[in-house]
Amino acid sequence: MSTVCTIAWVHGRVQGVGFRYSTQHEAKRLGLTGYAKNLDDGSVEVVACGATDKVDQLIAWLKAGGPRSASVDKVLAEPHSPSETWRDFGIRY
C-alpha cells in the first residue's frame, strides 16, 4: 500500500461554517494525517497524507461539498512533498 500526500485549496463559503472541523473528522475517519487551515483569501488549505485510496476519498468528499453548511465552488489539488510529517490530522490557525 503506497502512501501519498496531496495539498488542496478549497474555495467557496468554507470559512466560519465548521469546514476545518468537519474535514478533520472525515480525515481521521479515513486514517489520514495532515491538517486543514484557513487562508487569508477565504479559502481553506488541506494537506492529507496516507493510503492513496483514502486520500482520494477525502479529495472526493471535499469536491462533493464537505459539510452541509459549506458551499464549495472549486477544489484545486496536487501532489505534495511536505517537509514535515504528522502523527494525526490537525487544525492549523
| Catalytic-residue membership of 68 | no
Cell of 17: 461554517
Residue pair 51/59 in contact (Cβ under 8 Å)? The answer is: no
Q: CA torsion angle for 34, 84, 86, 58 (degrees, to 10)?
A: 20
Which of 92, 74, 93, 88 lies closest to 25 in space, CA to CA?
88
Catalytically annotated residue among 13, 29, 38, 92: 38
Is 38 in the active site?
yes
Catalytic residue among 13, 20, 68, 87: 20
Three cell numbers, residue 47: 494537506
Residues serving a catalytic function are: 20, 38
